[in-house]
Amino acid sequence: MSTARPASTTRRTLRWFLRALLAGTAVALAGCLAVFLGVHRTTAAAHDRSVPAVLAVYDAQIALREAHGAAQAGLTSGTRLLAGPGEDYQNLIARAGQHLAQAAEDNAAGDAGSRDLQVVQASLVTYTGLIERAHAHVAQDGGGALGVATLWDAATLLEEILRRLDGLRAKQADALADQVDGAWTSGATTLLWLGPVLVLLALLVAAQRFLRARFRRRLNVPLLLATLAVVGMGATAALSLRSADQLADARAETDRAAGLREARLDALADRDTAGLTALLTRACRPKGCPETIARVDPEGLRVPAPSAPVDGMDAADGAEAAHERHDRAATTYAARAADSRGGEVGLLAAALLVMALVVVGLLPRLEEYRYRQR
């Protein structure tokens, strides 16, 4: 003999909708907040650390190259030797130190990046000592050859410093790439908030239809307002997608700025090679030192070091303007991506509003069925 299942009552269904809607709102809030905060923590780290660190390391390399060129030009011209490497050199070395300090502050590569910076700082002390010694030798009678030899040592050490900075810059760029292509900024994270939001909307629509069928009312206004609030939650969470796109734009602009700096570094390296070659040629007279020059200048540049910037003043000014333009664009995109605009507060407020409206919309109907069942 089978036992008949108890008939479903309106009150029981209303209580189920109330519990389901409150629980669904909590789950949707958790998903939206998790994605929203995860994305904005990632974008904030890129804005505060990775993007400025990449550019700071590049700028430190350029400043070091320019400082070396200024010191080398002083030896070539034979002027200001009594005053050491010169004011231009000192200013550029100080600028390089500022960029390295900025890179240390913004370092996104963890302990490995910190170790690289420590090695660079220690090597830079040795490098500046060699430059000063080279100028001191050249300032003495008959010390030209020894000064050039010391400059060669300094140039060799500078290349090691720049290679170390290449590695540090690569680590910062890898950190930025991980942030752009990470779990929080991937399209898959959309499912964490979109799924619960859609389920919650479906529950609200189902509750609205149930009330219309049982109570002969076309629309429950509190539930309608709750539905609009849930749509607002979804729209706020969707801002994380825009933030991820803006972070990708920031990396693209950073890459463009990096490309311009690479070209500048290559030009400065060619200038330094040409300058050192000219100094060696003059110091090794009359016999010359072809083997040494071949080691310094394997590509056979062997042209006098120019006193003006490599590409001319107009080209240098244009490159500087392009640097600033891409730097500004990268920083702007990263700042926009990192700006949450108070979305996390809006999500919490919207969820609380949904819960309140659900209670207001269903509780009166529950009260009507306190003592009777259908």
Q: What is the pLDDT of residues 140-165, one digit of tens each?
A: 766 667 878 888 889 999 999 999 99
Reduced to 3 states (helix: H, G, I; strand: E, B; else coil), residue 288 is coil
For residue 301, count CB atoms less than 10 angstroms from its CB and return exposed for 0-12, middle for 13-18, buried for 19 or more: middle
- The answer to whether residues 208 and 220 touch, using CB atoms and an 8 Å cutoff, is yes
pLDDT at 19 (0 to 100): 94
For range 246-261, the mean pLDDT: 90
Provide φ and ψ at 308, rounded to 5°: -90, 165
259/206 Cα distance (integer angstroms): 56
For residue 58, give both structure tokens: 């590049």
Q: Alpha carbon 280 to chain centroid distance?
A: 43
191/270 Cα distance (integer angstroms): 52
Q: Alpha carbon 136 to chain centroid distance?
A: 43
For range 197-211, the mean pLDDT: 94
Which residue reads 């996104």 in tokens?
Answer: 108
pLDDT at 286 (0 to 100): 54
Task: Please write the tens of the pLDDT for every residue from 100-113.
Answer: 999 999 999 899 99
Cα dihedral across residues 135, 136, 139, 144: positive or negative: negative
- The answer to whether residues 108 and 176 touch, using CB atoms and an 8 Å cutoff, is yes
138/150 Cα distance (integer angstroms): 10
Task: Please write the tens of the pLDDT for every residue from 273-296.
Answer: 887 777 777 766 555 555 554 555
pLDDT at 354 (0 to 100): 96
Q: How many CB atoms lie within 10 A of CB 148?
A: 24
